[in-house]
Structure 1
Amino acid sequence: MDRLKERALMTRAVVLGNSGEAQAAPELLALLSSPSAQVRRLAVSALGKLASVADATQVVSALSFRLRDPHPQVRQYAVEALTAYGAAAASALPDLQDIAENTADKEYNRRDAARAVETIKQAKRIALEETQVRCQRCNAIISADEYTRSSRAFQRLYCDKCFNEVYLRRRNYDTQIELNKTIQTDKGHWVQSDGESIIANFPKQHNIEYRYDERLQIIDGYAIRPDFYLPEFDLYAE
């Protein structure tokens, strides 16, 4: 595929996913057949973002097919997108279980697929009223959709009201952190202090890759946000 066309389709997929409109789904479904793995990956991701508005039956079927995509990252994003559909993605459980048990697949795909299976099964149980789950903030009984939404975003379960309050608080915190980043490192990153600048410059000077202030899932699947993470050594520093 022509590189300029590929870039245009990638951008289009992102725009459609961010639109929040159900009408965007048909075009995204068509993009799943693109010869470009990057276009397919972004189309899959965008469909996951539309989980609350798209026709779940049609989308889940298409996403399930992408679990057999030859590109591992497309499969990875399909797993994540299906998780967003919660109980509505129950038909994808056999395919997700296959990935979870497939030793030939990437470890991260197997791990995420196993987590998706548990999330979807629990959402299904809640939808069928076979079990009750309560908000861990206000103790209200939460719906299957609320369970799916909060379990993907946090390590705690919230009703929609508490989710929005916690999410807003976290967004405001993230904004303040970004405003505090006023010192530029040799690598071009903006950090919060002279001490962080010194730490950041050391791996740069020794050709060691590092990530700064990123959310990472490196401890039993839980998201953490270390100041520095060195993937080559699987080390993080605060």
Structure 2
Amino acid sequence: MTSSRIRVPGWNTATAAEGYRQVRENIAILVADHAGAGERAVPACPQWTVRDLIAHLTEICDRVITRFGGEACPIPESASAVELLKLWLERGPEADTLLAADGGGKSRGDIMVMDAFTHELDIRYALGAPPPEAHAAWLRGFEVLVSGLGASLGRHGLPGMRLETEGATWIAGTEPVAAVLSGAPADLYRTLAGRRSPAQIAAMDWLGDPEPWLRAFTWGPFTPPEAEIER
């Protein structure tokens, strides 16, 4: 086992479909509330603007729908952020139906939600908007990231680690644990999702020496930036 949940009292245990829908709705609000949002650079995704990131999310949505028998909808290369967002909002309910039918499995449920929610946070940081205090995708996103870190710990021959945040605790990797990492939900999530530099990770609240663990935060699609990209 590469991760296990100890407690998550009070956390939103929404379905994957509910989490994915809230991401779409939140990003639509963010774009509407910030003039010229589409052209803003996204520090967490070098060489991408908010418009490029929304194009990515729209393409992922289309890919999932077509993979499971839905009709493809080509993404116009010249489409603006607002046009792409409109297309994503139109296609999203079809993806929600697939996620609901899947029963929340990580293959196309939790992982898809984690990716979308991580990019919602990318957009929030790009626009100077605060992370949400509550969100239907928090728990599902966290559990995918904790599982990925747990697998990375195993590949590096490292023992397990306990991760603690407000109202939730997980074990990444196998027990007994040899380190504890604590932080606010947004800080811990961004750390697990490769958005914090090694120096930032080491400066978090650790029980134990952080140095042996830093290499495990590079896994799958996530590589911590060399320098700080967001506070």
The TM-score range, normalised by the shorter chain, is under 0.3
Greater RCO (CA < 8 Å, at least 6 residues apart): 2
- TM (normalized to structure 2)? 0.28
Higher relative helix content: 1
- TM (normalized to structure 1)? 0.27
Larger radius of gyration: 1
